[in-house]
Amino acid sequence: MEKSHSKHEWRANTLPAMVMVGPVTLVLLFLVVAPLIFVGIMSLCKTDEYYNVVYDFTLVNYAKLISPDYLKIYLQSLLIAFFTTVICILLGYPFSYIIARTKSKKKTLLYMLVIIPFWTNSLIRIYGWRTFLGSSGWLNSLLMLLHITKEPVDMLYKTGTTILGMVYCLIPFMILPLYTAIEKLDTSLLEASSDLGAKPVKTLFEVIIPLTSSGIFSGSIMVFIPCLGYFFVSNILGGGNTDVIGNLIERQFKSANNWPLGAALSIILILVTLVLVKIYQKLGGDMDSLGV
């Protein structure tokens, strides 16, 4: 009896479970967990004079992290991420609301139209912005043609331009969860609220926003965190004047060649991510609404 039990158990559960879950486990262990642990180790390493990594324990990289120059960039980075997130909510919420609530048969098309631009490489699109905003770009040509300005307006290499690029790259990650949350909203609740005497604005704040807050939260996470790392946006549009933490890390790995310091900077990003995700979960956010 006992024997047949385990045999059945093996055929019905253990073997298929191993075959199915094994590969994904290996990928996660070797390509996600191990590299991240290794970054932690590297952040505690020294470098020799040729910038080779020496596996010798030190906290010197972490000491460098609190230099005023870096602190300024962390702050700048957080501000850029913050404004990007806020703008994404302000633009994305009404937009998602309108397309999610539309009775038009073209609803799917309207939704697809949000995604289609993102099939073009993000670098190219950011470059498109640069072309559009540059001193001899379309916008300046238009402004001069209409005699609004005489000289081309310098629109690149400003914090605002970087934020524009970030908003552009990340707004779909705000729109998609908002769309999902708003579409799930039961219309009869709005009717009930109105029936009970609430004016539209009251209904918005009392019913609609609380019920779709999950979308706002997950959208914010999906916008805020990547913003800290999108170094190429500030490279192309900010021209080095509007660095985010990602730029600092990129520089250590690509030009300054101080990997341990870059690793320590990455640890900051990991910690910020963990804190934000914890807050998200505290607010009742569902991890599954991130990502898809």
Interacting positions 12-51 with other proteins (CB under 8 A): 12-13, 16-17, 19-21, 23-25, 27-28, 31-36, 38-39, 42
Nearest partner of 156 among 140, 181, 134, 186, judged by Cα: 134
Q: Which of 66, 124, 145, 146 binds other proteins (CB under 8 A)?
A: 124
Amino acid residing at 104: S
Q: Which of 117, 191, 209, 256 binds other proteins (CB under 8 A)?
A: 117
Q: Whose Cβ is closer to other proteins: residue 62's or residue 127's?
A: 127
Give the bridge partners for 54, in sequence order: 46
Residues 135-164 that bind other proteins (CB under 8 A): 136-138, 141
Task: Tell me how far CA of residue 10 lies from CA of 5, 19, 23, 96, 192, in angstroms.
Answer: 9, 12, 19, 49, 54
SS3 54: strand
Q: Is 263 one of the binding residues for other proteins (CB under 8 A)?
A: yes
Residues 273-292 that bind other proteins (CB under 8 A): 273, 277, 287-288, 290-292
Q: Whose Cβ is closer to other proteins: residue 128's or residue 213's?
A: 128
- Which tokens go with 281? 């979960």
Question: Which region among 57-65, 66-74, 126-134, 144-152 touches other proteins (by CB under 8 A)?
Answer: 126-134
Q: Is 229 one of the binding residues for other proteins (CB under 8 A)?
A: yes
Q: Is 237 one of the binding residues for other proteins (CB under 8 A)?
A: no
- Which tokens go with 26? 């290996």
Is residue 159 within 8 Å of 75, Cβ to Cβ?
A: no
Say if strands 46-47 and 53-54 run parallel, antiparallel, or are unpaired.
antiparallel
- Which tokens go with 145? 């043609």
Taking the complex as a whole, the smallest distance from the CB of residue 127 to other proteins amounts, in Å, to 5
Taking the complex as a whole, the smallest distance from the CB of residue 72 to other proteins amounts, in Å, to 19
Nearest partner of 225 among 57, 87, 110, 80, judged by Cα: 80
**Count of all residues that appear for the chain in the document:** 292
Neighbours of 57 (CB within 10 A): 8
Amino acid residing at 238: G
Q: Which of 6, 11, 63, 209 binds other proteins (CB under 8 A)?
A: 11
Q: Which of 6, 71, 72, 118 binds other proteins (CB under 8 A)?
A: 118
Is residue 219 within 8 Å of 280, Cβ to Cβ?
A: no
Q: Which of 87, 171, 174, 223 binds other proteins (CB under 8 A)?
A: 171
Q: Is 67 one of the binding residues for other proteins (CB under 8 A)?
A: no
Q: What x/- string results for residues 95 through 114 when contact with other proteins is judged by CB under 8 A? A: x--xx----------x-xxx
Q: Is 91 one of the binding residues for other proteins (CB under 8 A)?
A: yes
- Which tokens go with 204? 């918005």
Q: Whose Cβ is closer to other proteins: residue 25's or residue 149's?
A: 25
